[in-house]
């Protein structure tokens, strides 16, 4: 249990404040997710404490930072089904996470990627409440629209041996399904499925990249990470087609979603037998003519 020294010095002057500080520090943080899979050196750091080696099944809480070393990766799954994969030499901070299943509008997820790359598949929060999801990086802030996307912060000194020199230093983002928004202090760009974007600096407008110009080698490592127990990620963006056309065969199911059973075919209804013709109704007899009413006698004149 760690306490803020400044808070302790103030609390000593006020016993009720000291009791509140002790209770707040002793109260455990709620679990927001778990480590689903990993390989290599993966470290979990909480607050100012020293990092520890992560293990599969370890719980995650808000305020935790996850880092990966050389030739390492980690796959995370959050309570709402949000899936995150980190490639080697990456660092991700879970800044804020709140999931209220019965009130998605109150839920929120905020992440910060300081280096490396990740792939994210939206859970319930990002699907039903798009503004509640945010991913911050040193050069841009990303939002989602029910999305499967990847982000790589390319640094020339560390990646020159793996990537061609024509790949510039900065942020590369690509969308596999759905759409994302990439915002800097200069402007914001909307990136749709099978398209990508590049950001050089927080002060520069994002640049859209067509599928033909997409730097494939930038995303090779993040696309090769297995997501055990979550879903099979597609290794390339969906091919553009007609508006509204979706590739059902390649569309994976959402994590935690039950598969819908196959619909049973309805048996064919037997043909209805022809209804028999109704017999003709007998003709009604003609009504006899009514006798003429006798004429009324004239009324006598009233005498004055």
Q: Find, among 281, 72, 259, 254, the residue nearest to 178 by Cα.
A: 254
Task: Return the CATH number at 94.
Answer: 2.60.120.1440
Do 12 and 139 lie in one domain? The reply is no
Q: Which domain holds residue 17?
A: 1-29
Q: Is residue 151 part of a domain?
A: yes
Res 181 pLDDT > 90: yes
DSSP letter (8 states) at residue 117: E
Do 99 and 74 lie in one domain? The reply is yes
Per-residue pLDDT, averaged over 243-269, amounts to 50
Per-residue pLDDT, averaged over 62-73, amounts to 95
Cβ neighbours around 223 below 10 Å, total: 19
Res 258 pLDDT > 60: no
Kind and range of the H or E element at 24? helix 15-26
pLDDT digits (tens, 9 = 90+) for 17-35: 544 444 444 456 789 999 9
Could you give the percent of the chain with pLDDT greater than 90? Answer: 52
Do 10 and 151 lie in one domain? The reply is no
Round the average pLDDT of the chain to a whole number and report it: 79
Q: Is residue 298 part of a domain?
A: no
Per-residue pLDDT at 137: 96
Q: Is residue 38 part of a domain?
A: yes
C-alpha torsion angle, residues 43, 164, 194, 137 (rounded to 10): 40
pTM to 2 decimals?
Answer: 0.67
Q: Find, among 123, 139, 110, the residue nearest to 81 by Cα.
A: 123
Res 120 pLDDT > 70: yes
Per-residue pLDDT, averaged over 137-150, amounts to 92
Please state the domain count of the chain: 2
Per-residue pLDDT at 243: 37
Do 64 and 154 lie in one domain? The reply is yes
Q: Is residue 78 part of a domain?
A: yes
Q: Is residue 255 part of a domain?
A: no
Per-residue pLDDT at 180: 95
Per-residue pLDDT, averaged over 222-236, amounts to 63
């Amino acid at each position: 249990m760690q306490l803020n020294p400044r808070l302790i010095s103030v609390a000593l002057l006020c016993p009720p404040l000291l009791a509140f500080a002790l209770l707040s520090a002793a109260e455990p943080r709620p679990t927001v997710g778990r480590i689903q899979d990993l390989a290599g050196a993966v470290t979990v750091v909480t607050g100012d404490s020293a990092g520890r080696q992560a293990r599969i099944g370890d719980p995650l809480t808000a305020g935790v930072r996850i880092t990966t070393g050389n030739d390492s990766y980690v796959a995370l799954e959050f309570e709402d089904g949000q899936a995150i994969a980190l490639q080697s030499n990456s660092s991700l901070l879970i800044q804020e996470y709140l999931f209220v299943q019965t009130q998605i509008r109150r839920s929120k997820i905020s992440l910060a990627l300081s280096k490396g790359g990740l792939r994210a598949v939206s859970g319930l929060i990002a699907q039903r409440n798009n503004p509640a999801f945010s991913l911050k990086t040193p050069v841009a802030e990303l939002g989602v629209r029910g999305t499967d996307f990847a982000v790589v912060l390319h640094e020339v000194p560390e990646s020159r041996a793996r990537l061609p020199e024509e790949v510039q230093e900065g942020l590369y983002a690509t969308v596999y399904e759905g759409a994302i928004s990439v915002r800097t202090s200069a402007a914001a760009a909307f990136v749709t499925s099978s398209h990508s974007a590049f950001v050089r600096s927080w002060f520069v407008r994002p640049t859209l990249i067509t599928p033909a110009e997409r730097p494939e080698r930038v995303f090779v490592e993040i696309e090769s990470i297995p997501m055990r127990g979550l879903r099979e990620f597609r290794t390339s963006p969906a091919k553009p087609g007609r508006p509204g056309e979706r590739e059902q065969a390649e569309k994976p199911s959402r994590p935690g979603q039950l598969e819908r059973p196959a619909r049973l075919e309805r048996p064919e209804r037997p043909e209805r037998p022809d209804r028999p013709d109704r017999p003709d109704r007998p003709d009604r007899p003609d009504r006899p003519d009514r006798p003429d009413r006798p004429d009324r006698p004239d009324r006598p004149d009233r005498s004055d």
